[in-house]
Amino acid sequence: MMRARTEIKFGNYLLDDFQKEAIDYLLDGYSVLVSAPTGVGKTLIADYLIARAIEEGQRVIYTAPIKALSNQKYKEFKAWHGEEKVGIITGDVVINSEAEVVIMTTEIFRNMLQQEKEELQGLSHVIFDEIHYLSDESRGTVWEESIIFMPPGIRLLGLSATIPNAQELADWIREIKGHEVKVVEKTDRIVPLEHRVFHPLTGITTRDQLFKYWAKKRQAEIKTEQPTSRRERNLSHLDLVQAVRRRKGLPCLYFVFSRMQCQLKAVELSEKANFLSRDEQKQVDEVITKIIAKYGLEDWPTIHRLKPLFRQGIAFHHAGLLPALKELVEILFGLNLVKVMYATETFAVGINYPVRSVCFDAPTKWDGLSFRPLTTLEYFQMAGRAGRRGIDERGFVYILADPDRYRQEEFPSDDPAEIEELTSRFNLSYNSVLNLFKNHQRPQISAILNQNFATFQARNDKIQLENRLSTVRLETGKLRREICPEWGSLSCPQARALAKKRLRKQERRLRFIKGRAGKAAAAREINQLKAALAETAARTCSAEEQKHCVRRIEFYEDLYHEQLGLEERVSSLKVAGRFEEDLAAKAGILEEMAYLEDGVLLPRGEFGAQIYAQELLLTEFYFAGFFHEWDEDQINAVMVAVDYEPRKNERSPRPGLLPFEQKPIKGIIRELIYRYGVDEREIRFFPSLSPLAYRWSQGWDFFELLELTDLQEGDIVSAFRRAIDLLRQVRAACLEEDPSLASKLKSCMNKMDRDLVKINL
């Protein structure tokens, strides 16, 4: 029985009802899922749980979807609870891993569950921030595996944006973990949102009004044959920002789904507007001076180039920025010294900086393959930043709308009731297969494969379909018995009327047929119809009876078609064993490659089980002896190319410019794909940054590297840090068997992990 609800104050906040409800459930030993709009204070529940755990000597793991959020939470918790109480593990950073509170990415937690169970001792709770990432196509399986393999005695706190099927997710967790999972939902916002669109010809208006206006305008243009000039139709972010400013809508967060456009738009706005007073500009100067001193950036041209932008209250934020610049922008934004921020959607993940207005440059986004409409969940995740609690009565959301380019149905819904349900994205990687065979017997593996959310959803779907099918079969059976036995025969007035209509049509047609054979065939049909009508007595039914009969038949036919569709769906819906084929296929490839034999891991398999990205490629590198042959700088040059996804139009250097021989690497890649049948999408090697990594490893200054490339500073740092993460994994995999190589790899990591590349926590 849940304890009586009491007033709870945490820090300077008096907790809302939904926060108190979630905390009460947690204190009573339940796992909890919190589904609530962005910006209403979900994270306070996690903050309270962590403070309570530290008080009581328990351990908590806090998982986040991205490293930037992990780093931010580490800094926050360290400031609140003291450095000795908080740790962080993100693959490329490990600090105080046995602390009471450890922050990590969800991938790291999943890896820990497969390798280091002793790390979980004394753990009471795991917090999954942004748990709706479970529905992410490329990464969702990590969340599922984390929940599946988490020891059942540990409790879970899942924080999510509003999702309509939170109860279904809770039911799945309860089923596989064996304990009660409570759902706490908050549907309303403390600061309500006002959703609008903008076009220069209409100004700020509603979506319906814009498209009605546009339809009338098109009709007028067709009549007058005078299309609107390009200048009149031209869309510009400058016009939208100006309109928002006139409505006193600043500060404004302006989402643009292109890094380059973020920067270009910020520069364009800086040529037209200045939002800061002289006193505010002095504050900006002070912050910039502190960041320059903190990181030794006196000679960094970027910060000096962007300083005038910041002094006008304008900034941009995306993943391609150097970490020091991101920190500077976030500090300025938090101090309300940025009035217009152009940002990609990564800024919407966890970084809690509300604004008065949120703008979208378009209703679509680039997803890596094509432009597609924003989902309603994505829209609300970003739009939810609008509206500052205690400051604004309403938050405002605007979309720069081009009816010539986008149809009305391509715009995301502004109705929270239409947010998409979470769906499973579970899939098996080679690493997953290796760890399943490493840690479980074959019957257990089959049971585990049936524990995923996809199977649970399929089973629920099948139950619902079977229930509906049963109902439809009963209804069709009942209706069939009520249908007149004469239906369809010439006794039925309806069928008789159709036959007479057919007869009249054929008699008219006969008069125009010239061919002898055709005339004879038509005459035969006419005679047969006349004979059938003469031989059959007509049933007497009133017009009302006939109408009733027709309606009943139409309803029956609709139901029967539904029954046939349901029968087909039920028969084709696979529940148990959904992933057995995939497991068998991948296990077969691993056996051919000598990773597995009769379900037992061979040396290659033991090594690959400890590598969580490009596991086959790195394992083959190791067993080919490449890590022993390459020197430290060459290893770093190679590792920065592993699992690197190039940006659009990014080219690989000519072989002569690479600091290593690429032919043996290409040979391994070809063998994996063409000999063993590994999907080429699972092998990623692109050495565009290898020359830079080689020079960095040799001790070059970071600003010297920038003279050799057009790539963004933050992308270079991210790639170098990814290489450090992979080096750490390879080092851990070979530590016991090959300590000398492990020492060499540690030296490689040290060469990469320095100066501006080093994470400052």
Joined tokens for residue 420: 């998409």
Q: What is the total residue count of the chain?
A: 761
Nearest to 330 by CA among 353, 356, 359: 353
Domains, the chain, with CATH or none: 9-185 (3.40.50.300), 193-418 (3.40.50.300), 582-757 (1.10.3380.30)
**Would residue 704 be called left, alpha or beta, if left means φ above 0 and alpha means ψ between -120 and 50 degrees?**
alpha
Nearest to 106 by CA among 50, 65, 140, 136: 65
Joined tokens for residue 289: 């001076």
Beta-bridge mates of residue 157: 32, 127
Burial label for 160, CB within 10 Å (0-12, 13-18, 19+), is buried
Q: In this structure, what DSSP letter does residue 721 have?
A: H
| Distance (Å) of CA 380 to CA 185, 391, 514, 592 | 16, 20, 70, 47
- Rounded to 5°, angle at Cα 222 from 220 and 223: 65
Amino acid present at 480:
R
Nearest to 684 by CA among 617, 610, 608, 630: 617
d(CA 270, CA 238): 10
Strand pairing class (94-95; 181-185): unpaired
CA end-to-end span of the chain, whole Å?
Answer: 42
Digit-coded pLDDT (tens) for 502-511: 888 888 888 8
Per-residue b or e along 235-269, where b marks 16 or more CB atoms closer than 10 Å to that residue's CB = bebeebbebbbeeebbbbbbbbbbbebbbebbbbb
Structure confidence at residue 473 (pLDDT)? 86
DSSP, collapsed to helix, strand or coil, labels residue 317 as strand
Three-state SS letters, 73-131: HHHHHHHHHCHHHEEEECCCCEECCCCCEEEEEHHHHHHHHHHCHHHHCCEEEEEECCH
DSSP state string for 281-316: HHHHHHHHHHHHHHHT-TT-HHHHHHHHHHTTTEEE
Beta-bridge mates of residue 89: 94, 104
d(CA 550, CA 556): 10
d(CA 658, CA 634): 9
Joined tokens for residue 168: 């279904």
The structure's pTM equals 0.85
Structure confidence at residue 423 (pLDDT)? 92
Strand arrangement, sheet containing 101-105: 94-95, 86-89, 101-105, 59-64, 123-128, 155-160, 31-35, 181-185
Q: In this structure, what DSSP letter does residue 370 have?
A: S
Torsion of CA 77, 79, 82, 87, to 10 degrees: 40
Structure confidence at residue 7 (pLDDT)? 63
Amino acid present at 76:
E
Structure confidence at residue 249 (pLDDT)? 95
For 548, list phi and psi in degrees, rounded to 5: -60, -45
CA 521, distance to chain mean position in Å, is 65
| Whether 490 contacts 467, CB under 8 Å | no
Q: In this structure, what DSSP letter does residue 488 have?
A: T
Rg (CA), the chain: 33
Contacts for 738 with CB less than 8 Å, ≥ 6 apart: none
d(CA 123, CA 126): 8
d(CA 100, CA 133): 25
Structure confidence at residue 232 (pLDDT)? 52
| Whether 43 contacts 159, CB under 8 Å | yes
DSSP, collapsed to helix, strand or coil, labels residue 489 as coil
- Rounded to 5°, angle at Cα 471 from 470 and 477: 90
d(CA 558, CA 556): 5
Strand pairing class (101-105; 395-400): unpaired
| Whether 3 contacts 24, CB under 8 Å | yes
For CA atoms 499, 500, 501, 506, the dihedral sign is positive
Strand pairing class (101-105; 86-89): parallel
Digit-coded pLDDT (tens) for 640-657: 999 999 987 888 888 788
Amino acid present at 511:
R
d(CA 112, CA 209): 53
Question: How many CA atoms are closer than 13 Å to the CA of 731, on its beta-carbon side?
Answer: 20
CB neighbours (10 Å) of residue 734?
19
Nearest to 638 by CA among 746, 719, 732, 744: 719
Question: Across the 761 residues of the chain, what is the mean pLDDT of every consecutive 10-residue run?
Answer: 61 85 95 91 92 92 88 90 93 88 94 80 93 90 94 94 93 95 93 94 93 87 65 79 96 93 95 95 96 87 92 93 89 94 81 87 83 91 90 94 90 92 92 95 90 88 82 84 78 80 84 83 85 81 82 82 80 76 95 96 97 97 97 98 89 88 96 96 95 97 90 92 96 95 97 90 74
Nearest to 11 by CA among 48, 46, 42: 48
Q: In this structure, what DSSP letter does residue 540 have?
A: -
Nearest to 738 by CA among 599, 643, 663, 627: 627
Torsion of CA 135, 87, 614, 755, to 10 degrees: 120
**Would residue 496 be called left, alpha or beta, if left means φ above 0 and alpha means ψ between -120 and 50 degrees?**
alpha
For 644, list phi and psi in degrees, rounded to 5: -90, 125
d(CA 19, CA 43): 9
Joined tokens for residue 248: 């006193």
